[in-house]
Structure 1
Amino acid sequence: MKKHLKKLSLTLAILTGLVPPAVSMAQADNFPSKPITYIVPFAPGGASDIGGRILSEALSKELKQSVVVENKSGAAGTIGLGQLIRSAPDGHYISIVVAPNLVTPLLMPTPPYDLTKDVKPLGMIYETPTVLVVNPKYQPKITSLDSLIATAKENKHGLNFATSGVGSTAHLTMAKLAKDNKVNFEHIPFRGSSPAITAVLAGEIDFLYSEVLSLLPHIQNGSLRPIMVGTVKRLESLPDVPSIKEQNINMDTRTSWTGLVVPKDTPDAIVTKLATAIEKVMNSADIQKRFKDLGAIPEYRNPHIMQERIAGDSAFWGQIIKDNNIQQNN
């Protein structure tokens, strides 16, 4: 009876135009018919990679099909997303999307893609607060944002800082911070947060502003010192670290978020099936705990909400880029 009702619902959806006519009930019923490639457009070991592997494992069980993580780093995520956009629109290729994927095209004279048009959202899965850290071994005097700014002013060449790439929200936030405080922060972009963390641990970089998800283990073992979190309120995972709203920064606090997308021509029936599976997995107690333990804020938000967030954030960060004259080589 349930199977009959399911097919009847899909038939009605096709007839009313909610699902493209070319999508047969067999396509939706038989999906997935082969392993799903889960593209992470950043290097292994970073926040997106860690979150991707947690979710891919759970999705494999829910969909009863292998979900294989494939890291495609480079060009602030545009290489990996470009591969996703060119992939077959059959639901067997999905990709993580984070804020830098929205921003990077805004810095290019010829953008490689437009996320408001070239993909279909599957939903937002979690938010990842950012945190500013220093290596106490190499920067013992920097214990607060005020001391960071003071140190930058004392040094002839200022300070350098690492991020996961040009156009990341961390990059834009620090560019605004430097301009507002009339200090020199030299941006050193890396191909993902993992190599950026390695550079700070080695003393090659003065400070790093990146996701809590990848930094929390290093903070907990004392190898990195947190001095500010990029959120309105303090984090449960870092209750002693001041929030960005406690600083003298005139900056809208937009938490970094992570979502999933598929190629734009993926049939709606398959999008719905994937989104339903993702929502179920994200709402499970085990996955909620695993993400919270990493410092993330897990909360599934549907494709419509994600589409609105993509449009809103693109406009917001575009204005920051314009106001601070940020270019691709900054």
Structure 2
Amino acid sequence: MRKRQFLKVLFALAGSGSAAACLAQGGERPVEWVHPYPVGGGSDAIARKLAESVGAQMGRGFFVSNKPGGATNIAAAYVANAKVQGAMVFTGDFATLAANPHLFANLPYDSAKDFAPAGLYARYPILLVVSSKVPANNLDEFLRWAEANPDSANFASSGVGSPQHLAAELFRERTGLKMTHVAYRGGAPAVTDLMAGAVSFALMDASTVVPQMKTGRLKVLGVASPERMKHFPDIPTLHEQGLTGFEAFAWQGMLVPAGTPRDVVDSLNRALGAALASKAVIDFFANIAVEPWFSSPDEMARFVAQENERWGKIIRDRGISLQ
């Protein structure tokens, strides 16, 4: 049902007004890029880089408006209630579109009706990392250690219901390990405690972990992707180490308010694709261990529906809730 509703909104855009008219709404009004996370983080830096590049592609001013809090719900509600078409885009991600509809009993927005996709733009690989105090250097050694030491097999995440938490729950399901979850308010404090040995391991996004890899205070055992990362080819996949088909990653894409004309969506998508293909953006992503990931609006709609179903099952099966 959720997938049909989402696609219905998407296809309805095709019959709307012209892109030129919509983009001219409010004269030379700049486009507000609403971002659900604080200023200064990695995803904020990406939004600002893309806003600059997409704006240059379209000959239109873009500015980033940070509205953090509420597990992205504050920003999502702001966009859902704004009723602005042609002068607003929104960072849509795993939380808003795949997890929150299952974590919260009551949301101030409907992820299937209030937004329309304009295209995916970022994939955040997730790594299995362990404290240097854990005597394991690969997946097999870690699994044997965790089975023998269940009281010590505690894992960190950046928060309940985060991609890192749910990736670890999937890992628990696939391996059968007895594990204790320790939730933090963000990835940085989680990694700090991991390096100190206060927690044993985590499935953490590469952009948070990579700056700490050279300290020697944590070990990267594998990446939860089908293929090795382009810029870190020495990190093996969990799949090739025996956890067949295991895949988990965080992601982000561009959304627009529902009702935005389809030709406007297509214009934004073309500009987004050109931005992601530019050397400046490719190099920027590589420096923070994030992978550019471009899709059409239709492809994003299908992907979001699949993610919603996949992670909704994990959330229900584990009884995870934020309300």
Distance 1:188 1:35, change over 3 A: farther
What residue in structure 2 maps to residue 14 of structure 1?
none
Q: 1:56 aligns with which of 46, 51, 60?
A: 51
In the TM superposition, residue 112 of structure 1 has moved relative to its aligned partner by 4.1
Q: Deviations over 1:77-131 (max 9, x none)?
A: 2232222222232233322122232112112223444433220111011322111
Name the TM-score, length of structure 1 as normaliser: 0.80
Q: 1:177 aligns with which of 171, 174, 178?
A: 171
% same residue: 26
1:273 aligned counterpart, secondary structure? helix
Q: Which consecutive residues of structure 2, in runs of 5 or more, have no partner in the other structure?
A: 1-12
Q: 1:277 aligns with which of 271, 290, 297?
A: 271
Q: 2:106 aligns with which of 99, 110, 113?
A: 110
AA of the residue aligned to 1:306: M
Distance 1:179 1:309, change over 3 A: closer
Give the distance between the partners of 1:143 and 1:73, measured in 2 at CA: 37
What residue in structure 1 maps to residue 232 of structure 2?
238
What residue in structure 1 maps to residue 120 of structure 2?
124
What residue in structure 2 maps to residue 296 of structure 1?
290
Q: Deviations over 1:233-280 (max 9, x none)?
A: 222222222212023435542543221101112333432332222122
Give the distance between the partners of 1:175 and 1:320, measured in 2 at CA: 7
In the TM superposition, residue 329 of structure 1 has moved relative to its aligned partner by 5.5
Q: Is the 8 A contact 2:16 2:260 kept in 1?
A: no
In the TM superposition, residue 311 of structure 1 has moved relative to its aligned partner by 1.0
AA of the residue aligned to 1:20: S
What residue in structure 1 maps to residue 5 of structure 2?
none
Distance 1:299 1:88, change over 3 A: same
Q: Is the 8 A contact 1:129 1:296 kept in 2?
A: yes
In the TM superposition, residue 287 of structure 1 has moved relative to its aligned partner by 1.4
Give the distance between the partners of 1:208 and 1:188, measured in 2 at CA: 10
Query: Higher relative contact order by CA 8 Å / sep ≥ 6: 1 or 2?
Result: 2
Give the distance between the partners of 1:230 and 1:47, measured in 2 at CA: 20
In the TM superposition, residue 202 of structure 1 has moved relative to its aligned partner by 5.0
Give the distance between the partners of 2:27 and 2:218, measured in 1 at CA: 43
Matched, 1:327 2:323: no
Matched, 1:95 2:94: no
Q: Deviations over 1:197-247 (max 9, x none)?
A: 344345543323222233222224545421110111222222222212023
Distance 1:207 1:43, change over 3 A: farther
Considering only aligned residues, what root-mean-square deviation do their CA atoms show, in Å? Answer: 3.0
Superposed, which structure 2 residues align to 1:1-330 within 5 Å? 18-21=14-17, 25-29=20-24, 33-101=28-96, 102-136=98-132, 139-155=133-149, 157-249=151-243, 252-322=246-316, 324-328=317-321
What residue in structure 2 maps to residue 9 of structure 1?
none
1:148 aligned counterpart, secondary structure? helix
AA of the residue aligned to 1:76: A
AA of the residue aligned to 1:328: S
How many residues align? The count is: 310
Larger CA deviation: 248-257 vs 166-175: 248-257
Name the TM-score, length of structure 2 as normaliser: 0.81
Q: Which consecutive residues of structure 1, in runs of 5 or more, have no partner in the other structure?
A: 1-16
Q: Is the 8 A contact 1:130 1:210 kept in 2?
A: yes
1:54 aligned counterpart, secondary structure? helix
In the TM superposition, residue 183 of structure 1 has moved relative to its aligned partner by 3.1
